[in-house]
Amino acid sequence: MQHRIRRPIVAGNWKMNGNAALVGEMQQALESQQFENVSVVVCPPLTYLGTMQSDTFSLGAQNTSDKASGAYTGETSLSMLQECAVEYVIVGHSERREYYAENDQVVAAKVAAVLEAGLTPIFCIGESEQVRDAGKLFEFLASQIDAVLNIIGINAFANVVIAYEPIWAIGTGKTATPEQAQEVHAFIRQHIAKQNGEIAEKMQILYGGSVNGGNAQSIFSQPDVDGGLVGGASLKPNDFITICLAANELR
* Least Cβ distance, residue 154 to ligand PGA (angstroms): 26
Q: Which residues contact 163 (CB under 8 A, 6 or more apart)?
A: 11, 90, 122, 123, 124, 125, 126, 205, 206, 207, 208, 229
Does 12 help bind ligand PGA (rule: CB under 6 A)? Answer: no
- For the bound state, the minimum distance from the C-beta of residue 124 to ligand PGA, rounded and expressed in Å, comes to 7
Binds ligand PGA (CB under 6 A): choice among 137, 141, 199, 230: 230
Q: Which residue is nearest to ligand PGA (CB)?
A: 231
Question: 192-209 as b/e, with b when 16 or more CB fall inside 10 Å?
Answer: beeeeeebbeebbbbbbb
Active site residue 191: no
Q: Are 229 and 165 in contact (CB under 8 A)?
A: yes
If one asks whether residue 61 binds ligand PGA (CB under 6 A), the answer comes out as no
Three-state helix/strand/coil letters over 177-193:
CHHHHHHHHHHHHHHHH
Nearer to ligand PGA, 92 or 200 (CB): 92
* x/- map, 70-109, ligand PGA, by CB under 6 A: ----------------------------------------
| Active-site option among 95, 127, 165, 185 | 165
Q: What are the φ/ψ torsions at residue 195 (nearest 5 degrees)?
A: -95, -40
Backbone angles phi and psi of 243, in degrees to 5: -65, -45
Is 211 one of the binding residues for ligand PGA (CB under 6 A)?
yes
User: At 65, is the secondary structure helix, strand, or coil?
Assistant: coil
Q: For the window 130-169, what string marks contact with ligand PGA as x by the rule CB under 6 A?
A: -----------------------------------x----
126 makes contact with ligand PGA (CB under 6 A): no
Judged by CB under 6 A, does residue 209 bind ligand PGA? yes
Give residues with Cβ within 8 angstroms of 140, minimum separation 6: 127, 131
185 is catalytic: no
Give the β-pairing of 227-230 and 161-164.
unpaired
Asked if 13 is part of the footprint of ligand PGA (rule: CB under 6 A), the reply reads yes
What are the residues facing 122 on neighbouring strands?
90, 161
| Identity of the residue, 205 or 229, whose beta carbon is nearer to ligand PGA in the bound complex | 229
Binding stretches for ligand PGA (CB under 6 A)? 13, 165, 170-171, 208-211, 229-233
Active site members? 93, 165
